[in-house]
Chains A and B, each alone.
Chain A
Amino acid sequence: MLKRTPLYEHHLALKAKLIDFGGWEMPVQYSSLVQEHNAVRERVGLFDVSHMGEFLVSGPGAVEFTNHVVTNDVATLVVGQALYTVMCREDGTIVDDLVIYRTAEQEFLWVVNASNIDKDFTFVRECFDSYPETKPKLSNESQNYFQVALQGPKAVEALSTLTKTDLTGIKTYHCAYGSVAGAHCLIARTGYTGEDGFEIYGSPKDAATVWTALFQAGDPHGILPCGLGARDTLRTEMKYPLYGHEINDSTHPLETGLAWVVKLGKKDFVGKSALVGVKASGIRKTLIGLQGEGRIIARQGYKVLSTDGVEIGSITSGTLSPSLGFPIAVAFVNKEFSEKGKTLLVQVRDQQVPFKICETPFLKLRSKN
């Protein structure tokens, strides 16, 4: 039986096309993927992302334990600030990527991928059990949160009609508790589309109230409900990694463009010695951006070849960019084939289609707040 979010009935009423996404019955599309994508880029879109997981780490030892498990440094966060990170096994491979909010001096909300909730919590629990220092409180709160993402240039205007919280005071990658349509929520200026916007967390009993109110508030701006299909094209245009595509159980962060979230100068953390070793021995693979001509899509798993026909890697994500109108793809390749401007070939069915290595993010956005 697939799991459902508190907003399942709303998706049915909106005639969403539902799919099995990591064990969850989720909307992949409501109207048209391209229209939903454009709503987020040009106006505002609303996503149900309640399937994502939430862990809470609180009390004395919360900073130190969180820093012991993840690669980035949460000690640098002020209360009301967020960061993106990964957590790795002892061998340096990635368990998951996540966003961590410092919601109080001694409290961190970890937000993990839906399909990885059980795996992640088992991993964190093991780290916790063997953690020798002061142990904070650790709990899997995934059942106790809904999450919706309001994304797009009109997100601030729409949300401001539903809250007394000063939204201009919440900068990118910051958050604050506040009331949204009368419901107590964590309002975070985060998202995975590249646009300005918010991720709003609250109690499942308030999910329908907040969802409905956001729709009404966004109506004058042409808000659309958006599915996982648009979420994928939006994040691909930004070259944001997605678990199961750019990163997985066998990749490590230094070769997948995530060196910036690995703070090797930090005190001991799980996977540090392996990652120090990887760095010392040299990075051999990397993620690159590719752009095609025409309309042929290079999809995940397709082989990437050098112009003399040697296999050098594979596609991790690819689509026809709705914003740009040409095919874009991310590929995991041998590092010596990552020079921008060079041409590579992608094996698409029985053809070898040329793609050019390009700058990323693929889409250059206007500056945010």
Chain B
Amino acid sequence: MSYPSNLRYTKDHEWAELTSDTTVKVGITDHAQNALGDVVYLELPKAGRELKSHETFGVVESIKAVSDLLSPVAGKVVEVNAGLAADPIRINQNPHGEWMLVLEAPDAKAQFAGLLDATAYETFVKSL
């Protein structure tokens, strides 16, 4: 299980990467993809949607299970990874590289800083 230190995490098993002071990329963690198994379906929102923190923005399904995707921060969807929705097994192959959304928020940097760092998330996962 990997926990890259440049990312921040939520207890819902999403990760965020700060790509500028006002934008973050969002995906699901290695732990999440491992728990799901082979991902077969991904449903993502349209660009332009405003999301609250922890709001459901989509659905990821494996053969075994279906799971809501929850936004790690509040912001506006400015970009969606449509290519990933067409080939969602890539989530299993590279969970921390395959982002789902780019969210924009004036306070993205501060929101990002408020998420779990890699050490805290790893401790949380190991406590489950």
Residues of A that sit less than 8 Å from B by CB: 17, 28-29, 32-34, 229, 233, 295-297, 299, 319-320, 322, 349
A-B contact pairs, 26 of them (CB 8 A): A17-B37, A29-B37, A32-B37, A32-B38, A32-B92, A33-B38, A33-B62, A33-B63, A33-B64, A34-B38, A229-B37, A229-B63, A229-B64, A295-B41, A296-B61, A297-B40, A297-B41, A297-B61, A297-B63, A297-B66, A299-B66, A319-B63, A320-B40, A320-B41, A320-B63, A349-B59
Nearest residue (CB) in B for A230 is B63
User: In this complex, which of B37, B41, B66 has the most chain A Cβ atoms within 10 angstroms of its Cβ?
Assistant: B37
Q: Which residues of A contact B37 (CB under 8 A)?
A: 17, 29, 32-33, 229
Residues of B that sit less than 8 Å from A by CB: 37-38, 40-41, 59, 61-64, 66, 92
Q: Which residues of B contact A33 (CB under 8 A)?
A: 37-38, 62-64
A229-B63, A297-B41, A320-B63 given; 17 more Cβ-contact pairs under 8 Å:
A29-B37, A29-B64, A32-B37, A32-B92, A33-B37, A33-B38, A33-B63, A34-B38, A229-B37, A229-B64, A295-B41, A295-B61, A297-B40, A297-B61, A319-B63, A322-B63, A349-B59
Query: A32 CA to B64 CA in the complex, in Å?
Result: 11
Q: Which residues of A contact B59 (CB under 8 A)?
A: 349
Nearest residue (CB) in B for A236 is B63
Query: A28 CA to B64 CA in the complex, in Å?
Result: 10
Query: A93 CA to B38 CA in the complex, in Å?
Result: 36
Closest chain-A Cβ to B58's Cβ sits at a distance in Å of 11
Asked if A34 and B63 make an inter-chain contact with CB atoms under 8 angstroms apart, the answer reads: yes
Nearest residue (CB) in A for B37 is A33
Closest chain-A Cβ to B65's Cβ sits at a distance in Å of 9
